[in-house]
Amino acid sequence: EGAKLAVAEGCRNLVVTGARPLAATNCLNFASPERPEVMWAFSQVIDGIAEACQAFSTPITGGNVSFYNETEGQGVYPTPVVGLVGLVEDLKHVVTCGFKNPDEVILLLGETKEDLGGSEYLAYLHNQIIGHPPVLNLDYEKNVQQLCLKAINKGLVSSAHDISDGGLLIALAECCLAGQINNIIGATFELDLKSPAFVDNVSLAAALFGESPSRIILSVKESKLAAIEELAKEQGVISTVIGRTGGQEFIVKFNGQDAINEHVVELSKRWQKGLETLLESPIR
């Protein structure tokens, strides 16, 4: 399942820029294949990549396999690295992830489920690498990607960003941080766990930090919202208004109260120290 997720995320990363995925490559890193569990994992990864690449029509053009990645008998986690290349049909329709204008609607494409297994949230905040990865519905993933690409090519989208490591909250913050330095665009996000964007009685932690696949954040002008919602219906994709751009703060509201209210500049300062902070942290 993790290998399929890697291919899907690579395709999603292309689609949110306005590119159509064309082909893939890979680098597969594993411990000793002489151990049955390692060889089993390797076989599962091959099957997962093949299934996903067939679904997205992205043939593998090349790659390599690295075995025996071990230190003092301790093997690395199964690590399939997937790279993809895509084609932008019209450079006028290239989109980036940073919010562009104030007073635009923030849309979430897709659903958020209780997907905390193997997440950055558990690893970073709880020092736990546990749980099952999210289950990927390839058909739904394709529908979400096709919806995003159609909306971009029709000129309906101001910005687009995929949701992956760290979940929804991190992706929204990245949209603020990726804006122009001389034109800071903040956002207010209304967290409503009863909205169609959140399913299966999802927990607050999973709503904010879960890594469910098949999700994309769009910012769009109010006048173009109806057109995107119509496209979403045609593709069978859930689209939910979750906020609005504006101001210079990153605000998350929950139960009518500000759960987070930080100036984008302050968030940027912390982000810029991310690598430094990581290198200063003890090795886990």
Residue 30 tokens read as 């594993």
CATH of the domain at 26: 3.30.1330.10
Beta bridge partners of 248: none
> What is the structure's pLDDT at 123?
86
| 235 and 110, same domain (yes or no) | yes
| 213 and 104, same domain (yes or no) | yes
> What is the structure's pLDDT at 158?
95
> What is the structure's pLDDT at 28?
95
| 160 and 259, same domain (yes or no) | yes
* pLDDT less than 50: residues of the chain: none
Domain that holds residue 57: 2-92
> What is the structure's pLDDT at 283?
64
| 213 and 116, same domain (yes or no) | yes
| 114 and 198, same domain (yes or no) | yes
> What is the structure's pLDDT at 139?
96
Indicate the pTM of the whole model: 0.91
Q: Among 28, 62, 92, where does a domain finish?
A: 92
